[in-house]
Structure 1
Amino acid sequence: MTFAELGLRAELLRALDDAGYTEPTAIQAQAIPTVLKGTDLLAGAQTGTGKTAGFTLPLLERLSQKELPAKGYRPVRALILTPTRELAAQVHESVRTYGKHLDLRSTVVFGGVSINPQMMTLRKGVDILVATPGRLLDLVQQNALKLDRIETLILDEADRMLDMGFIHDIKKVLKLVPAKKQTLLFSATFSDEIKALADKLLNSPELIEVAKRNTTAERITQRVHPVDRGRKRELLSYLIGDGDWRQVLVFTRTKHGANRLTEQLQQDGISAAAIHGNKSQGARTKALSDFKSGKVRTLVATDIAARGIDIDQLPYVVNYELPNVPEDYVHRIGRTGRAEREGVAVSLVCVDEHNFMRGIERLIKSDVEKVVIPGFEPDPSIRPEPIKMGGQKPAGRGKPGGRSNSRPGNSRPGGNNRRTEQPRARSRRA
């Protein structure tokens, strides 16, 4: 199948050709015809499946079917909500890339930067708005934006939005948009919370699921390197240097841990930058840009970045510290092995994290290969210690995977409370 067979206009096909895309992915082949029909959609797709183009292309097609005023104000007709600033910027970049030959206006708004330029752009009018929930509501409150002409509402990575505590903001947005509209909901997993949200949002939706729930991509090679907790940084530097790894995304549990590891890697002669919620938006944007361009060899990130980083041909993901929530492992390693390419996901696991690893293997229904690196054999005399994360109580070692019983959005054992990692409200707005 080709994109031309999906019913897209010549301007979109030319943009796809400019970008070097010739054949649609599975999610694109299924989602594009559904969106073009105007029906609601509930789509399940893991990261790296091409879902952004799956909703961006048909959205541009539908919006272009109506005659547009050459000059003057244009009301927002399509709203795309995303959980993080980085993801919002990347979705908007896709809108610009695919719509570059069309007479459509678009912009992106998120927190962490001045609101005034965003207000000025919106008051001139745009057709497509990509936004994080917090900043969107700030703009509405300041009368810079109205959502009463929305024809299409898209919730991208809805499961992460719920996990980060945005459900109340989403409900506020729903009161501002017309009842009659097309709604598209994309999620990596179909949890009970997602199903409940879909029941409220969607009208007789079509269901598309291109990957089984909580599975990891087959093209990702997963390995565990057992190592003592005190030698992780040494092993990481060895792996990067010995393997000549040129682009490595490394995950830590905490923001402080990310900063500390970044400094240690730099001391080892490995260029590195950190990206997390305490960094300014400018610093986060620069770190990601330097990493993509190859100026920085290693990007150290917390889980908040797992959904906000979209890098073509990213070859390596390293779990420097395992996540205490098993699903986050799937999101982390999903940064590699994208767009039908191969990837490697390495986890450095010390004796403290064995329960976390067992929880992950139960979730993905597979044992991950264990490879001991010569010279880094774990000391069998070292006993497990409680894992302290983010200044909270040590993560429980009694439960495999270390999961808490708290509801999504509440504090979890693991420190990085998702609602403080991504700013909302005035000081917490996305």
Structure 2
Amino acid sequence: MAPGITGRTRPTKPKKHARTQKRKRDDVDVEKLEQAVSELDTKASYTSFSDLPLSAPTAEGLKSAHFSSLTDIQAKAIPLALKGSDILGAAKTGSGKTLAFLTPVLENLYRAQCIGADAGLGAIIISPTRELAIQIFDVLRKIGGKGHLFAAGLIIGGKGLREERDALARMNIVVCTPGRILQHLSQTSSFNVDNLRMLVLDEADRIMDMGFKKDVDAIIEYLPPDRQTLLFSATQTKRVSDLSRLALKEPEYISVHEAASTATPKTLQQNYTITPLPEKLDTLWSFLQSSKKAKILVFLSSGKQVRFVFESFRHMQPGIPLLHLHGRQKQTARLEITQKFSQAKYSCLFATDVVARGLDFPAVDWVIQVDCPEDADTYIHRVGRTARYEKAGRAVLFLDPSEEEGMLRRLEQKRVPIERINVRSKKQSSIKNQLQSMCFKDPSLKYLGQKAFASYVRSLHIQKDKDVFKLDGYPLEEFAASLGLPGAPRIKFLKADAEEVKRRKNAPRAEMALAESQDEEDEDGEEKIKGKNGGVRTKYDRMFERQNQDILADHYAKMLHDGDERDKVDLNKLDGEQVGDDDLFDVKRRIPAGEALSSDDDEGDATSLNGAVRAPGELGPKSITIPGATAPLILDSKRREKLLKSKAKLLKHVGGKGSKLVFDDDGNAHQIYELEDEADFKARGAADEQRARFLREEEERVREADQRDKVVAKEKRKEKREKRKEREREVVDGEVGGGSEEGGEEDLMANFAADAESGEDEEEEVEPQPKRQKKWFQKDVEAEEEEEKEIGTLDELEAEAQRLLGRS
């Protein structure tokens, strides 16, 4: 057999090599890279990534992702970060800040050979929103997936805590949000950050804001002090207090656009239009009708406004695909919506500020800000979703007349160029009537409108800049009508200051639920029952207390408008009139059908009509239609249920009084006065005499009818009594079940006839006493009489013997 030839007829399968664990690479010349980095001149100008001393896996990843030239922020930040300096980086939106910190993270960990589970965690990248964290992680995978062996993970919540806990022990790079990483630092025992080398904060000004202040302070306590810290944002903070909290060591401040004439890209065309608050939805609808072949991002101030506008416009079908995104959605839905909008060619996304920072949506044509941003920095981040990477884009800001002066002054201080434009009245259409019709037909949409109104007014109230947001300058009643609402809901603002309100808004849901469950007293001062046995409420208690979130739920009842004049509040004067209650809404549900019941109810029930107390086992009030009533009777309490037992009280709900009709020869119904003329009426006497005579006749007729009813009732009682006596007689005489059927029927009829002949005035009969049973020591009277008889003849003796034998 020739050498190298086997006797197999089929080719042999190659052996599968066992998957080797990630370990330090032997083919890496770390000393050469370290020397190149040490010789790097940070003051020199670099134009491409090839000019920097980068490793082969990083260079290959950048090339595969089509990143070749350096932007301004990248050219200045990457060399300093490679040398290990702390950086404060500020640049315009869309200038490539993500690569400015991801490239140093990969390179520094690569040179330190921080690979594998034994190396521990090397870098933490913190983002303020989940969407931005997902975007950063995707870029990290693109540029780090061409040869790097790091274990990277995304920790943003929305998944099981146990799954993330098991994977954290093996990660070298973590992209996360502040709340979730803090939860793992405090609860996951296997999560070790002692070897951490780099900390990156993207959108640092937002993370350092009050919403994440406590979380960042707690995270810093867990991290080692000898680390490298990088902070990047479009509007960077320079406050010494913030920087000292992060323990920065001689940070390098990089602001490539600080000397620029504008704080926004030059390719961005910015305009604003004076739009009164009640006309904003009309203007937005008209804009969508004229821009159906565009990709539009619409910003609103709250998630409830986003839901209402999305649902309303979706019913009216503007001719462009609609999407909506806000922080209350589940993570899977938020991720799906961002992907749809990124891939869409023409679409409109209604969103809150949750997508205002850092997100890169391709080819956004328009950014429409329906609600005024809280400050100029938020405006810069919003308009930064378009005109990215030196592409063209347009932004339009809707300003109420009361907001114009203050907001333009703030934008001018931030070097934001903006021009005023006017809306063509010929092309603007009103949707007020359509919204009113939809809210009338769909109670759930009306409920969304009420919540949207309340959330918008509250957002105005908590704003810090009172020079821009003047609550008493907004036409709130007209704004409620523009939403399709019949009236403005009553609102009660919190007494806490703006910082407390924002803290509660940004607090995790679990913390808020725990705080609510630990409250000792409810609104009335009565102690709450925590659980079934007075203990801590469990998930089973919450499960049985859960109810459908429809229009009959408790929180919907709070949104109903109170029609009582003495309880109405002037919405334009609410800024100074605050009530010290933690509830945002203070509206009681009132049923018009029961207004007269409070004074006429004799039951003495202390339950108020406004209390909306439900019957046991019911999820909501019941509606019962009463014949002749103008409206159905709503049973929302036990007091209302008692009305069904009172005929007199039910008659109060019947609209109008009955009228007497007379039928003619043809069978047609007519009123009495229709069948007689005036002469016949006057012939019977004066009207007062006829009325008095009619009342006397009716009184006599009612009296006779009452006598007849009494006689009938007496006969029924007598018949019932006779039947009872007959049954007792049968039991005493032993006639039940004995004799023939014919004889029994004859006796019953005879007894009934005999009883019928007795006097009718007998009201009560003495019931016969039941026959008592004899005791064991008492003798039978009949047996004694038989024993006392003398036995005379032989026949009698024989009969007596047979009788005695029969007994035995």
TM-score by length of 2: 0.47
Tell me which amino acid in the other structure corresponds to 1:374: R
* Mapping 1:376-395, distance limit 5 Å: 389-392=455-458, 394-395=460-461
**What is the distance in 2 between the residues matched to 1:220 and 1:428?**
43
SS in 1 for 2:367: strand
1:239 to 273, 287, 295: 287
1:264 alignment counterpart: 312
Given that 2:304 and 2:455 are in contact with CA atoms closer than 8 Å, whether structure 1 keeps it comes out as no
SS in 2 for 1:169: helix
Q: How far did 1:2 drift? A: 1.0
Given that 1:109 and 1:132 are in contact with CA atoms closer than 8 Å, whether structure 2 keeps it comes out as yes
1:28 to 74, 78, 82: 74
2:171 to 114, 122, 126: 126
Tell me which amino acid in the other structure corresponds to 2:124: L
SS in 2 for 1:322: coil
Is residue 374 of structure 1 aligned with residue 424 of structure 2? yes
Tell me which amino acid in the other structure corresponds to 1:8: L
Q: 1:56 to 1:117 in 2, by over 3 A?
A: same
2:230 to 180, 184, 187: 184
**What is the distance in 2 between the residues matched to 1:68 and 1:377?**
62
Aligned residues: 413
Given that 2:114 and 2:172 are in contact with CA atoms closer than 8 Å, whether structure 1 keeps it comes out as no
Is residue 315 of structure 1 aligned with residue 365 of structure 2? yes
Given that 1:227 and 1:377 are in contact with CA atoms closer than 8 Å, whether structure 2 keeps it comes out as no
**What is the distance in 1 between the residues matched to 2:415 and 2:112?**
48
Tell me which amino acid in the other structure corresponds to 2:351: A
2:467 to 379, 390, 400: 400
2:248 alignment counterpart: 202
**What is the distance in 2 between the residues matched to 1:265 and 1:288?**
20
Tell me which amino acid in the other structure corresponds to 1:417: K
SS in 1 for 2:395: strand
Tell me which amino acid in the other structure corresponds to 2:217: K
SS in 1 for 2:112: coil
Tell me which amino acid in the other structure corresponds to 1:16: L
1:381 alignment counterpart: none
Is residue 305 of structure 1 aligned with residue 305 of structure 2? no
1:147 to 176, 193, 197: 193
Q: 1:296 to 1:279 in 2, by over 3 A?
A: farther
Q: How far did 1:419 drift? A: 5.4
Q: How far did 1:152 drift? A: 0.8
Q: 1:419 to 1:191 in 2, by over 3 A?
A: farther
Given that 1:85 and 1:308 are in contact with CA atoms closer than 8 Å, whether structure 2 keeps it comes out as no
More strand by share: 1
1:417 alignment counterpart: 502
Given that 1:227 and 1:376 are in contact with CA atoms closer than 8 Å, whether structure 2 keeps it comes out as no
SS in 1 for 2:423: coil
Q: 1:314 to 1:426 in 2, by over 3 A?
A: same
1:382 alignment counterpart: none
2:90 to 44, 55, 64: 44
**What is the distance in 1 between the residues matched to 2:417 and 2:501?**
27
**What is the distance in 2 between the residues matched to 1:351 and 1:403?**
11
Is residue 80 of structure 1 aligned with residue 125 of structure 2? yes
Cα deviation 1:363-386 (Å, max 9, x = unaligned) = 3345622221322699xxxxxxxx
Tell me which amino acid in the other structure corresponds to 1:265: F
Tell me which amino acid in the other structure corresponds to 2:86: D
Give the structure, 1 or 2, with the largest relative contact order (CA under 8 Å, sep 6 or more): 1
SS in 2 for 1:351: coil
1:279 to 318, 329, 333: 329
More helix by share: 2
Given that 1:6 and 1:29 are in contact with CA atoms closer than 8 Å, whether structure 2 keeps it comes out as no
1:227 alignment counterpart: 275
Max Rg structure: 2
Tell me which amino acid in the other structure corresponds to 1:235: T
State the identity %: 30
2:341 to 280, 288, 291: 291
**What is the distance in 1 between the residues matched to 2:378 and 2:497?**
15
SS in 2 for 1:292: helix
2:150 alignment counterpart: 104
2:140 to 63, 83, 95: 95
Given that 2:199 and 2:228 are in contact with CA atoms closer than 8 Å, whether structure 1 keeps it comes out as yes
Is residue 6 of structure 1 aligned with residue 52 of structure 2? yes
**What is the distance in 2 between the residues matched to 1:61 and 1:245?**
43
Aligned-CA RMSD value: 3.1
**What is the distance in 2 between the residues matched to 1:391 and 1:85?**
27
**What is the distance in 2 between the residues matched to 1:345 and 1:53?**
26
Q: 1:209 to 1:232 in 2, by over 3 A?
A: same
Given that 2:235 and 2:377 are in contact with CA atoms closer than 8 Å, whether structure 1 keeps it comes out as no
**What is the distance in 2 between the residues matched to 1:394 and 1:55?**
37
**What is the distance in 1 between the residues matched to 2:205 and 2:401?**
31
**What is the distance in 2 between the residues matched to 1:158 and 1:393?**
24
Tell me which amino acid in the other structure corresponds to 1:161: I
1:330 alignment counterpart: 380
Q: How far did 1:23 drift? A: 0.5
Cα deviation 1:266-308 (Å, max 9, x = unaligned) = 2223322221121111221111111111177111111232115
2:407 alignment counterpart: 357
Q: How far did 1:163 drift? A: 2.0
Q: How far did 1:32 drift? A: 0.7
Given that 1:134 and 1:425 are in contact with CA atoms closer than 8 Å, whether structure 2 keeps it comes out as no
Q: How far did 1:117 drift? A: 1.9
Q: How far did 1:238 drift? A: 3.2
User: Which range moved further: 60-69 or 75-84?
Assistant: 60-69
Tell me which amino acid in the other structure corresponds to 2:281: R
**What is the distance in 1 between the residues matched to 2:465 and 2:248?**
40
1:114 to 160, 172, 180: 160
Q: How far did 1:119 drift? A: 1.4
Give 5+ residue unaligned stretches, structure 2: 1-46, 429-452, 472-495, 515-808
Tell me which amino acid in the other structure corresponds to 1:400: D
**What is the distance in 1 between the residues matched to 2:243 and 2:470?**
26
Q: How far did 1:336 drift? A: 1.3
Give 5+ residue unaligned stretches, structure 1: 379-386, 405-409
**What is the distance in 1 between the residues matched to 2:332 and 2:167?**
20
Q: 1:144 to 1:402 in 2, by over 3 A?
A: farther
Q: How far did 1:173 drift? A: 1.6
1:383 alignment counterpart: none
**What is the distance in 1 between the residues matched to 2:276 and 2:426?**
8
Given that 1:155 and 1:186 are in contact with CA atoms closer than 8 Å, whether structure 2 keeps it comes out as yes
**What is the distance in 1 between the residues matched to 2:333 and 2:406?**
31
Q: 1:87 to 1:229 in 2, by over 3 A?
A: same
Q: 1:424 to 1:145 in 2, by over 3 A?
A: farther
